């Protein structure tokens, strides 16, 4: 490397990209089955499909992380071999992964410089890298401080670092794997603005999503994958949301709504003036009063981090409370252990389903008996009854339509939707008296969400009391009979569904009572 030569790569020349007949098999799954896909400079091509459809696999093949069993890749009409991320980068391909590939303990500039030759070899040239980051960031309005540590940045900002990393390496093709899944609605708009500008600068962008409205608003063309196969590629203008949904799921989708009147019975869950601390030691809940009756779904709406997690954990006995009482079917369970509360018939679907709900390295059948393994008929005299446990697993896998090669499959290798099904199977099959469901459809695709909603409504019909904690207002409005809004650890208000509007809930979520006038303090 010549002294002071620019180590910043120019954008690679790119006209067209074509993937032909890509097939990729994992043990027990055909992730891509003869898939075709193409991309032109200056377009956003959406790749749509449910979880597990094979979208990430196809893009990881393009990025050299997986090696296909069959198929070829052509760039600008010429066959290329991409067998590592390094060769993908040389071909001008950059990937923004679903799980970011950043080193949290390094700065933005260090993350960008990592793996690139330096102009001051063997020393790093972070000053030059920072300058170039700033100029790239200015061009695409990314506003990033090169000297900030990654752990200090919000998820949206981290995503921008990923984009800068790719641009810095001269990428002309950007693969964005579910980039909106982790963003707030406002950040999604900002990302779309960045994408549009890159598009007009001649970049080719692949946008992966399972959210129909996003695909329709950002893409020129859309390709749908289902079970590893192409369903079709169309100009986005030529298709409707319903067609895409049908292609994706393989059948008509009915957007579920509970319409019948609830058969409300006695109070099953009650929080009386409950306060507790959050993980950071500050007040997480501040005098919460809430009841859930038999046969009703109470929705708990709120911006994340306003006490939802604390409330769920207080109810399930996972978090000690500092004040108040918690009652299950009229019985005081304050201070009881989680296991005792489980015994009272409370089921819990935790927000972090992989971390708090399952054991990653246990099989499905083991995960299915986590709660009840010590009881008859799963164990006798301290010995696990494997044949009963296995039958139980097979029965639930079928009943809850879990898609898995076998009951021995480890939980960690299931897709999000199937993990949630296993969790539901475990929690619902014990015939609970009450359920706390936290963000039960977060990260799930349409089909799996629909399934979860169906199950919750069925429980409601059976007379179970359900507390549905969700940040998705549409979900709450579709399912809940009463809607409680939480803000800074307090219940702002509880609205019956019939009179609740999105606007009012939105205001309550921001800590404002509808009708109240908001004044800027500076104007006083």
Ligand X SMILES: Nc1ncnc2c1ncn2[C@@H]1O[C@H](COP(=O)(O)OP(=O)(O)O)[C@@H](O)[C@H]1O
Q: Which residues bind ligand X (CB under 6 A)?
A: 26, 29, 31, 49, 51-57, 413, 415
Residue 209 binds Mg ion (CB under 5 A): no
Joined tokens for residue 298? 């109470």
Order of strands across the sheet that contains 482-487 = 346-349, 434-438, 465-470, 297-301, 482-487, 490-496
Residue range at the interface with another protein (CB under 8 A); choices 70-78, 80-88, 238-246, 263-271: 80-88
Coil, helix or strand at residue 519: coil
Q: 231-236 — which CB contacts under 8 Å span 24+ positions? A: 233/36, 233/37, 236/46
227/463 Cα distance (integer angstroms) = 36
* From candidates 45, 55, 97, 160, binder to another protein by CB under 8 A: 97
> How far is residue 122 CA from its own chain's centroid?
41
In the bound state with another protein, the residue whose beta carbon lies nearer, of 95 and 437, is: 95
Residue 281 binds another protein (CB under 8 A): no
To ligand X, the closest distance from the beta carbon of 214 in angstroms equals 15
End-to-end CA distance of the chain: 63
Binding to Mg ion (CB under 5 A): which residues in 48-67?
56
Strand-pair partners of 70: 23
DSSP state of 107: B
Residue 102 binds another protein (CB under 8 A): yes
* From candidates 81, 121, 375, 395, binder to another protein by CB under 8 A: 121
Half-sphere exposure of 520 (CA within 13 A, CB side): 2
Residue 106 binds another protein (CB under 8 A): yes
Residue 55 binds another protein (CB under 8 A): no
Residue 113 binds another protein (CB under 8 A): yes
Query: Which string of DSSP letters, residue by residue, matches 62-98?
Result: HTTSS--SEEEEEETTEEE---SHHHHHHTTEEEE-S
In the bound state with another protein, the residue whose beta carbon lies nearer, of 101 and 235, is: 101
State which residue has the least CB distance to Mg ion: 56
To ligand X, the closest distance from the beta carbon of 53 in angstroms equals 4
151/268 Cα distance (integer angstroms) = 42
- Work out whether the CA dihedral 466, 471, 477, 479 comes out positive or negative: negative
- Work out whether the CA dihedral 270, 355, 375, 389 comes out positive or negative: positive
Indicate which of Mg ion, another protein, ligand X, none lies near residue 276 (CB less than 5 to 8 Å, by partner kind).
none
In the bound state with ligand X, the residue whose beta carbon lies nearer, of 49 and 179, is: 49
In the bound state with another protein, the residue whose beta carbon lies nearer, of 57 and 420, is: 57
To another protein, the closest distance from the beta carbon of 105 in angstroms equals 5
Distances (CA, A) of 173 to 60, 94, 176, 261: 13, 6, 10, 52
Residue 163 binds another protein (CB under 8 A): no
Indicate which of another protein, Mg ion, ligand X, none lies near residue 122 (CB less than 5 to 8 Å, by partner kind).
another protein
Indicate which of ligand X, Mg ion, another protein, none lies near residue 485 (CB less than 5 to 8 Å, by partner kind).
none
DSSP state of 150: G
In the bound state with ligand X, the residue whose beta carbon lies nearer, of 270 and 422, is: 422
In the bound state with ligand X, the residue whose beta carbon lies nearer, of 97 and 426, is: 97
Residue 105 binds another protein (CB under 8 A): yes
To ligand X, the closest distance from the beta carbon of 17 in angstroms equals 19
**133 and 168 Cβ atoms separated by less than 8 Å:** yes
To another protein, the closest distance from the beta carbon of 114 in angstroms equals 5
Residue 86 binds another protein (CB under 8 A): yes
E strand or H helix that includes residue 288: strand 283-293
Residue 415 binds Mg ion (CB under 5 A): no
Best CA proximity match to 159, nearest among 230, 74, 94, 76: 94
In the bound state with ligand X, the residue whose beta carbon lies nearer, of 53 and 167, is: 53
Coil, helix or strand at residue 39: strand
Indicate which of Mg ion, ligand X, another protein, none lies near residue 89 (CB less than 5 to 8 Å, by partner kind).
another protein
List residues binding another protein (CB under 8 A). Answer: 24, 26, 60, 63, 65-67, 84-86, 89, 95, 97, 100-106, 110-111, 113-118, 121-124, 165
List residues binding Mg ion (CB under 5 A). Answer: 56
């Amino acid at each position: 490397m010549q002294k002071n030569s620019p180590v910043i790569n120019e954008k690679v020349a790119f006209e067209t990209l074509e993937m032909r007949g890509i097939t990729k098999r994992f043990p027990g799954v055909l992730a891509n089955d003869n898939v075709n896909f193409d991309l032109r400079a200056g377009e956003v091509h959406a790749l749509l499909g449910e979880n597990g459809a094979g979208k990430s696999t196809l893009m990881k093949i393009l990025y050299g992380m997986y090696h296909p069993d069959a198929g070829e890749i052509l760039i600008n009409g010429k066959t290329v071999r991409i067998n590592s991320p390094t060769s993908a980068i040389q071909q001008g391909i950059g990937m923004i992964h679903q799980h970011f590939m950043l080193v949290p303990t390094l700065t933005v500039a260090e993350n960008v410089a990592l793996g690139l030759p330096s102009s001051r070899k063997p020393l790093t040239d972070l000053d030059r890298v920072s300058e170039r980051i700033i100029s790239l960031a200015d061009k695409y309005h990314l506003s990033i401080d090169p000297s900030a540590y990654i752990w200090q940045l919000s998820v949206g900002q981290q995503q921008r670092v990923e984009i800068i990393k790719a641009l810095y390496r001269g990428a002309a093709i950007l693969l964005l794997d579910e980039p909106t899944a982790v963003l707030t609605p406002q950040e999604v708009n900002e990302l779309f603005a960045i994408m549009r500008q890159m598009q007009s600068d001649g970049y080719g962008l692949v946008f992966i999503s399972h959210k129909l409205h996003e695909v329709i608003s950002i893409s020129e063309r859309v390709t749908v994958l289902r079970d590893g196969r192409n369903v079709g590629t169309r100009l986005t203008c030529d298709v409707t949301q319903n067609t895409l949904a049908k292609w994706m799921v393989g059948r008509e989708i009915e957007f579920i709504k509970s319409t019948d009147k609830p058969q409300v019975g006695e109070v099953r869950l009650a929080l009386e003036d409950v306060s507790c601390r959050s993980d950071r030691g500050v007040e997480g809940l501040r005098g919460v009063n809430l009841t859930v009756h038999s046969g009703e779904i109470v929705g708990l709406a709120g911006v994340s981090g306003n006490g939802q997690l604390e409330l769920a954990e207080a109810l399930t006995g996972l978090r000690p409370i500092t004040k108040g009482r918690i009652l299950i079917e009229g019985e005081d369970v304050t201070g009881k252990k989680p296991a005792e509360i489980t015994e009272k018939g409370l089921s819990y679907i935790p927000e972090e389903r992989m971390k708090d709900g399952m054991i990653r390295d246990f099989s499905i059948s083991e995960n299915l008996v986590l709660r009840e393994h010590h009881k008859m008929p799963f164990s006798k005299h301290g010995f696990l009854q494997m044949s009963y446990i296995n039958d139980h697993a097979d029965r639930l896998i079928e009943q809850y339509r879990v898609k898995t090669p076998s009951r021995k499959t480890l939980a960690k290798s299931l897709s999000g939707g199937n993990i949630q099904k296993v969790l539901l199977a475990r929690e619902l099959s014990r015939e609970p008296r009450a359920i706390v469901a936290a963000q039960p459809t977060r990260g799930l695709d349409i089909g799996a969400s629909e399934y979860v909603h169906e199950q919750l409504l069925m429980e409601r019909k059976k007379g179970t009391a359900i507390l549905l904690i969700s940040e998705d207002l549409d979900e709450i409005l579709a399912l809940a009979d009463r809607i409680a809004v939480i803000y800074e650890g307090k219940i702002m208000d509880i609205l019956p569904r019939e009179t609740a509007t999105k606007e009012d809930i939105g205001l309550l979520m921001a800590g404002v009572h509808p009708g109240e006038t908001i004044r800027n303090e500076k104007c006083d």
